[in-house]
Amino acid sequence: MFFKRLRADINAAKRNDPAARNKFEIFLTYSGVHALSAHRVAAFFLRIHCKLLARMISQWTKFCTGIEIHPAAKIAPGVFIDHGAGVVIGETAEVGEGTVIYQAVTLGGTGKETGKRHPTVGKNCTISAGAKVLGNITLGDGVKVGAGAVVLKDVPDYATVVGIPAKIVRINGEKTPDLIPEQEDPTAKEIAALKERIEGLEEALRFLTEKGL
C-alpha cells in the first residue's frame, strides 16, 4: 500500500511539473514527495497510538522539507505539493487525489472551532502560492484558488476564487453574473453629487455677477 501511494505521488509530480525529467529524479529530489511519504509513516504510527513518535516524524519532516503536515491529516494518493516551502496542513484537513498545492499554502483553522476545524479539499483542485484556506469549509472538485487568496467559505465544484476574502469569479470557466456589472461605490456616488451641486452654484453665481446683483 505504501509503495502504491508513493507511485501515485510520483506520477502526480511528473504529470503536473513540466520541469520534471524522470521519475527517479522526482523520487530523489522532490520535497513534496518526501513530505507526503513521511506523512504516511507518521499517520501509521498515529493509528497504532504512538502519538509522540508520529509528531516527532512530522516535525523532523518539517525541518528537512519546510512542509508541515499533521499526522492526523487525511491526504489521498496522487496529491502534488510543488516546491512546498511553508506549506502547512492542519490536523483535521482532508485533501482529495489529483490536487496540486503550491508553496506557502495553509490549510488551517480559524482558532475559534473545535472538532473538525480544518478544510476539506476535493479532487483535482489547484491551490496557488500563498493561499490560505481556513476553517471547517469545503472546496468542491476542480476548484482553483488564486495566489494569496484567503478562503473562509465553502466553494462549489469547478469554481475559481480570488481575493481577500476570496470571492468566486468563475464557475466552469464562465464569469459569474455578479461580476459583470461593477458594484456601485457609495463614496464615489456622493462625490459626484457634490461636484454637480458645486457646478450649479458656480453657474448661479456667474449669472448674478453678470446681472450686477
pLDDT of residue 106: 95
Task: State the DSSP H helix or E strand holding residue 171, giving kind and residue range, or none if neither.
Answer: strand 167-171
> What is the per-residue pLDDT for 63?
94
Same domain, 168 and 188: no
Domain count, the chain: 2
Q: Which range of residues forms the domain containing residue 78?
A: 2-176
| Statement to judge: residues 211 and 122 lie in one domain | no
pLDDT value for 179: 53
Render each residue's pLDDT in the chain as its tens digit; 213 residues: 788 888 898 989 989 888 888 999 999 999 999 999 999 999 999 999 999 999 999 999 999 999 999 999 999 999 999 988 999 999 999 999 999 999 999 999 888 778 899 999 999 999 999 999 999 999 999 999 999 999 999 999 999 999 988 999 988 877 776 554 445 567 777 888 888 888 888 888 887 787 766
Please check whether residues 141 and 197 belong to one and the same domain: no
Q: Is there a single domain that holds both residue 151 and residue 206?
A: no
In this structure, are 187 and 169 located in the same domain?
A: no
**6: exposed, middle or buried (Cβ count in 10 Å: 0-12, 13-18, 19+):** middle
pLDDT at 194: 85
Question: Is 132 in the same domain as 192?
Answer: no
Residues 138 and 196 in one domain: no
Q: Say what the pLDDT of residue 184 is.
A: 56
CATH number of the domain to which 155 belongs: 2.160.10.10
How far, in Å, are 48, 84, 96, 147, 182 from residue 90 at the CA level? Answer: 20, 15, 15, 19, 37
pLDDT of residue 76: 93
pLDDT for the residue numbered 196: 85
pTM of the model: 0.76
* Same domain? 101 vs 189: no
Per DSSP, the three-state class of 175 is strand
